[in-house]
Amino acid sequence: MRINKKKFIYLISPNKINKSFYKNLNEVLSTGKVYIFQMRLKKYSFKKKIIIGKKMKFICKKNNVKFIVNDDPFLTKIIDADGCHLGQKDINITEAKKIIGKKIIGVTCHNSVKLAKEAIKANASYLAFGAFYSTKTKKTKYVASTKILNKVNKLTKLPLVAIGGINSKNYKNLLLNNANFLAISSYVWNNKKIKPKKTIELLK
């Protein structure tokens, strides 16, 4: 996975897909700042995820954005997404590779150098750390600081993804401390003050 300084946003879907979502997604991706878009839907059936995933994939392809699926290599294969993201409780990288082959596989490493080393050894495509700031998207079990990014940066050239409560006021500090990509969700989709496209334009 290549690092692109102009395209540093790793966008994650909202938990609920409403009627205006696809239009907003297209507008957000058309800004040229998003490198990866992840479908993370916890409350939808497998069948519904396939339908939604195919629509998302079409919009991603149109805007030259990598499309990946959260948690599920089987769904990744069915939709023919660009890859999948694995949490620590999901299937391991070796097993995931048997299902999806040489596609992108990212791994959640929380705030742990040990987990990062394991993911590096297993040939992950990128490593994700967090939460760096408080977030409403999901319950925060692990808190990370920029120290973890600086430590892991010395161990590998793999892209490092920062996640958790990132917005236009706090994002620069992470980019200055070896985060290659910023994973954001609620700042874009649940922002009551600004429309989704504008939120991305504020990240310069």
Phi, psi for 118 (deg, rounded to 5) = -65, -40
Prediction pTM value: 0.95
Domain boundaries, the chain: 9-201
Query: Which strand (E) or helix (H) includes residue 98?
Result: helix 93-100
What's the mean per-residue pLDDT of the chain? 95
**Confidence band (pLDDT; 50, 70, 90) for 1?**
confident
- Residue 57: pLDDT above 80? yes
pLDDT in tens, 173-187: 999 999 999 999 999
Q: Three-state SS for 110?
A: coil
For residues 64-80, average pLDDT: 98
Give the CATH number of domain 9-201; options: 3.40.50.1820, 3.30.70.940, 3.20.20.70, 3.40.50.2300: 3.20.20.70
Q: What percent of the chain has pLDDT above 70?
A: 98
- Which residues, in sequence order, are CB contacts of 184 under 8 Å at separation 6+? 9, 10, 11, 12, 163, 166, 167
Does 191 score more than 80 pLDDT?
A: yes
Confidence (pLDDT) at 64 = 97
Tens-place pLDDT, residues 124-167: 999 999 999 987 666 667 889 999 999 999 999 999 999 999 99
- Type of residue found at 104: I
Please count the other Cβ atoms lying within 10 Å of the Cβ belonging to residue 45: 9
